């Protein structure tokens, strides 16, 4: 399957009546990346994905694929494929016929489409289930079939809308490793929508964080996590405190808070053992909540309980000023 295509969104906008679901976003997805599009429910992720796929019309702006404006092309003519949240497999068709379905629609003969479907089933390790019906498969297996079905058209960009949300937590972690491996093998762009920051960090080479119909921040996963630009991103990505210091808002990583003999006075409000570290929620004298992640060895040298007085310190250089 050939290399990917660059994808550019230019002032892309979606309105449903009075609802502005996507508000003029601009973004350049470079070929061959695993990109996670994340943000809270209702922020416009699915609408964006569906406009890229052609399952939703654009209200204004354009979708440019490999230099061509595809905004008004039907889905099958774009070089994209979409894997839906609920897999949407045909219950009365075998696994092989589900995978071959879009080839049948294109009028490809049975022998050729079965050959192609078998190749894809091999790719997702589902060869031995080819003759089963979807109802005879587990959730993870159905998901692999849905992936094979999306990939059978040899898309340049695979669009995945919350592909792991129907799986139990254990399987979700296993399937995300499989998705990542598949993307590397195919070398095409995956755009994966999720509302989970852990999933986005685990998978995305690049993150695009949306909020209220716009892109709030985008960049390499580590950069977005380590250097959130806004309070929203700091809070949404987690692991950060947002505190008011001398009139401006700063982000401070919870693992950079030092609980000791010096610094700001605070009272412990909750203690949660998390294995490698202990999460200590505290309240300062000015009423701000500050979370400290303390390495467990260090914590148990002098354990704290709710109600205890503590002092909080940090290295000034670790404070990260947020945009107002
Ligand atoms: P997300 O995928 O981030 O949860 P969506 O793109 O599904 O967000 O929705 C963005 C906004 O558009 C929401 O306010 C949602 O209610 C609205 N919306 C989505 N689809 C439709 C639709 N078909 N008709 C009307 N409003 C819609
Ligand atoms: Mg959605």
Residue 128: what pLDDT?
97
In percent, the amount of the chain with pLDDT more than 90 equals 83
Structure tokens at 310: 């503590």
Q: What is the mean predicted confidence (pLDDT) over 137-147?
A: 90
Which fold, 240-321?
OB fold (Dihydrolipoamide Acetyltransferase, E2P) (2.40.50)
**CA–centroid distance, residue 105 to ligand 1 (Å):** 29
DSSP bridge pairs for 293: 279
In percent, the amount of the chain with pLDDT more than 70 equals 98
User: Is any atom of ligand 1 closer than 6 Å to the C-beta of 19?
Assistant: yes
Instruction: Let me know: does 79 contact 31? Beta carbons within 8 Å.
Output: no
The closest-lying atom of ligand 1 relative to the alpha carbon of residue 46 is 2
**Which residues neighbour ligand 2 (ion) by CB within 5 Å?**
46
Domain 7-226 and domain 240-321 have a common topology: no
Residue 170: what pLDDT?
86
77-117 pLDDT, tens digit each = 999 999 876 668 999 999 999 999 989 988 999 999 999 99
Task: Using alpha carbons, select from 34, 308, 14 the residue that is nearest to residue 189.
Answer: 34
Residue 2: what pLDDT?
47
Which fold, 7-226?
Rossmann fold (3.40.50)
Q: What is the mean predicted confidence (pLDDT) over 280-298?
A: 95
Using only C-alpha atoms, the chain has a radius of gyration, in whole angstroms, of 23
Q: What is the mean predicted confidence (pLDDT) over 267-282?
A: 97
Helix H, strand E, coil C: the string for 239-297 is CEEEEEECCEEEEEEHHHCEEECCCEEEEEEEEEECCCEEEEEEEECCCCEEEEEEEHH
Element (H, E) at 83: strand 80-83
Instruction: Kindly give, in sequence order, each residue whose CB lies less than 8 Å from that of residue 54, ignoring residues fewer than 6 positions away.
Output: 70, 73, 74, 75, 77, 78, 80
The closest-lying atom of ligand 1 relative to the alpha carbon of residue 43 is 3
User: Is any atom of ligand 1 closer than 6 Å to the C-beta of 21?
Assistant: yes
What is the distance between the alpha carbons of residues 111 and 132, in angstroms, rounded to a whole number?
19
Residue 1: what pLDDT?
42
Q: Is the pLDDT of residue 183 over 60?
A: yes
Q: Which of 65-69, 137-141, 238-242 has the lowest mean pLDDT?
A: 137-141
Q: Which of 63-72, 163-172, 184-193 has the lowest mean pLDDT?
A: 163-172
What is the distance between the alpha carbons of residues 238 and 253, in angstroms, rounded to a whole number?
9
Q: How far is CA 226 from CA 64, 149, 234, 277, in A?
A: 31, 37, 9, 19
User: Is any atom of ligand 1 closer than 6 Å to the C-beta of 211?
Assistant: no
Residue 3: what pLDDT?
62
Residue 245: what pLDDT?
85
Residue 130: phi and psi, rounded to 5, are -55, -30
> Chain-wide mean pLDDT for the chain?
93
Residue 58: what pLDDT?
98
Beta strands in 17-79 (DSSP E): 19-29, 34-38, 60-65, 68-69
Per-domain boundaries in the chain: 7-226, 240-321
User: Is any atom of ligand 1 closer than 6 Å to the C-beta of 323?
Assistant: no
Order the strands of the 258-260 sheet from edge to edge: 258-260, 309-313, 264-273, 277-284, 289-295
Q: What is the mean predicted confidence (pLDDT) over 257-261?
A: 94
Ligand 1 pocket test: pick from 20, 23, 42 the residue with the most ligand atoms within 8 Å of its Cβ.
Answer: 42
Instruction: Let me know: does 228 contact 249? Beta carbons within 8 Å.
Output: no
Order the strands of the 320-321 sheet from edge to edge: 240-245, 248-253, 320-321
Q: Is the pLDDT of residue 51 over 90?
A: yes
Q: Is the pLDDT of residue 214 over 60?
A: yes
Beta-carbon-side half-sphere exposure of residue 31 (alpha carbons within 13 Å) = 14
């Amino acid at each position: 399957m050939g290399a990917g295509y660059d994808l550019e969104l230019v002032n892309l906008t979606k309105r449903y009546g009075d609802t502005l679901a996507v508000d003029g976003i601009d973004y350049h997805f470079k070929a061959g990346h695993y990109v996670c599009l994340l943000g809270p429910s209702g922020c416009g992720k699915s609408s964006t994905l569906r406009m890229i796929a052609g399952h939703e019309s654009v209200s204004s702006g354009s979708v440019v694929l490999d230099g061509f404006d595809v905004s008004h092309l039907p889905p099958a003519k774009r070089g994209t494929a979409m894997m839906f949240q609920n897999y949407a497999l045909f219950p009365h068709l075998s696994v092989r016929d589900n995978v071959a379905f879009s080839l049948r629609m294109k009028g490809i003969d049975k022998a050729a489409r079965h050959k192609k479907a078998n190749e894809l089933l091999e790719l997702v390790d589902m060869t031995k289930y080819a003759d089963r019906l979807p109802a005879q498969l587990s959730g993870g297996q159905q998901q692999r079939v849905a992936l094979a079905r999306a990939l059978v058209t040899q898309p340049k960009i695979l669009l995945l809308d919350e592909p792991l949300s129907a799986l139990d937590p254990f399987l979700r972690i296993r399937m995300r490793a499989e998705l990542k491996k598949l993307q590397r093998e195919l070398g095409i762009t995956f755009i994966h929508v999720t509302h989970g920051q852990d999933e986005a960090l685990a998978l995305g080479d690049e993150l695009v964080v949306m909020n209220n119909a716009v892109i709030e921040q985008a960049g390499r996963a580590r950069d977005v996590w380590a250097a959130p630009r806004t309070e929203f991103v700091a809070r949404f990505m987690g692991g950060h405190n947002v505190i008011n210091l001398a009139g401006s808002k700063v982000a401070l990583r919870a693992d950079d808070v030092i609980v000791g003999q010096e610094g700001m006075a605070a009272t412990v409000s909750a203690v949660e053992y998390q294995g490698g570290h202990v999460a200590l929620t505290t309240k300062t004298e000015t009423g701000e909540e500050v979370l400290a992640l303390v390495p467990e060895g260090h914590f148990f040298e002098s354990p704290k309980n709710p109600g205890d007085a503590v002092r909080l310190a940090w290295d000034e250089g670790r404070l990260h000023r947020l945009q107002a």
